[in-house]
Amino acid sequence: MGKVTPLLIAQLSDLHLFATPDRELLGLNTFVSLDVVLQKLKQLPRQPDQLLLTGDLAQDETHIAYQHIQTLIAPLKIPTYWLPGNHDHLPTMQATLTNPIFQPHKSYRMGSWHFLLLDSSVTGKVYGELSPESLSWLDQELDQCYPHPTLIALHHPPFAIKSDWLDQIGLQNSDDLFAIIDRHSHVKLVVFGHIHQQFEHQRHNVHFLSTPSTCIQFAPHSKTFALDQAQPGFRLLCLHGDGTFETEIQRTIFSQTLDFSAKGY
């Protein structure tokens, strides 16, 4: 029996595109930075089997911003799955991200792995929370996909990351999420965005991972809002059929003149 090729997943997060492509976010053109990130992705020795977009795709919640995302990503011809962040408008996303490359499914199988995508956004709020309905759905889906190794994705981090201002706007009911995960031993990975930086943590046998933003980066371990000099990037996940994985961060080389005096965005 031949060796099964592992899945290769590219996680992109916090794109923050505007309807107007020349708009900047704190000195960085988010349209151009996303394009540079996608060019880096295209140069990989092997193209990913899936793109996973973990929220804050648009900064201004506009139909046109989501159209721009389709225009940039669709030519890659890689199945693309997505979930909303606190800057997104879910009805507009659903109405706009209709190119066949963009998949609407939030529970799906690829290879030996199962994927579950959660909406942790709360209307009008920056912090995240999983509704009772979402938690019940997650529990049911995990029952049904057993024993396949499973990856859960959401936007908000379920852990404090030792950055005071970000820790106030993470997932507010993490214990409810952990209670469900603890009942399902086939959950191997939880990935998220929101914090615009690399982060890794292990709880029991589950690995929790964030990815850099495709645009601005937040300074780690900062008490108040602060930008970092780090380059835009994305995370690669190589998922093996036995539930093991390898992961790495890929960053671009991108010229940017950031507004380091900014107190927020």
Q: What's the CATH code of the domain at 43?
A: 3.60.21.10
Which of 173, 139, 180 has the alpha carbon at shortest distance from 157? 173
CB 247: neighbour CB atoms within 10 A?
Answer: 17
Using DSSP bridges, classify how beta strands 187-192 and 206-210 pair: parallel, antiparallel or unpaired: parallel
Q: What is the pLDDT of residue 247?
A: 98
Q: Is residue 63 part of a domain?
A: yes
Read off the pLDDT of residues 110-150 as tens digits, 9 standing for 90 and up. 999 999 999 999 999 999 999 999 999 999 999 999 999 99
Q: Is residue 178 part of a domain?
A: yes
Q: Is residue 265 part of a domain?
A: no
Chain-centroid distance of CA 260 in Å reads 24
> Which residues constitute the domain of residue 129?
7-251
Q: Is residue 262 part of a domain?
A: no
Q: What phi and psi, each to the nearest 5 degrees, are found at residue 180?
A: -75, -45
Q: What is the pLDDT of residue 2?
A: 53
Pair 92, 98: CB distance under 8 Å: no
Q: What is the pLDDT of residue 4?
A: 80
Q: Three-state DSSP class for 24?
A: strand
**Domains identified in the chain, total number:** 1
Pair 86, 80: CB distance under 8 Å: no
Q: What is the pLDDT of residue 127?
A: 98
Q: What is the pLDDT of residue 157?
A: 98
Q: Three-state DSSP class for 91?
A: helix
For residues 79-106, b (16+ Cβ closer than 10 Å) or e, as one string?
bbbbbbbbbbbeebbeebbeeebbbeeb
Q: Is residue 2 part of a domain?
A: no
For residues 159-185, b (16+ Cβ closer than 10 Å) or e, as one string?
bebebeebeebbbbbbebbbebbeebb
Q: What is the pLDDT of residue 265?
A: 81
| Residues paired with residue 202 on neighbouring β-strands, in sequence order | 207
Q: Is residue 191 part of a domain?
A: yes
Query: Which residue ranges of the chain lie beneath pLDDT 50?
Result: 1
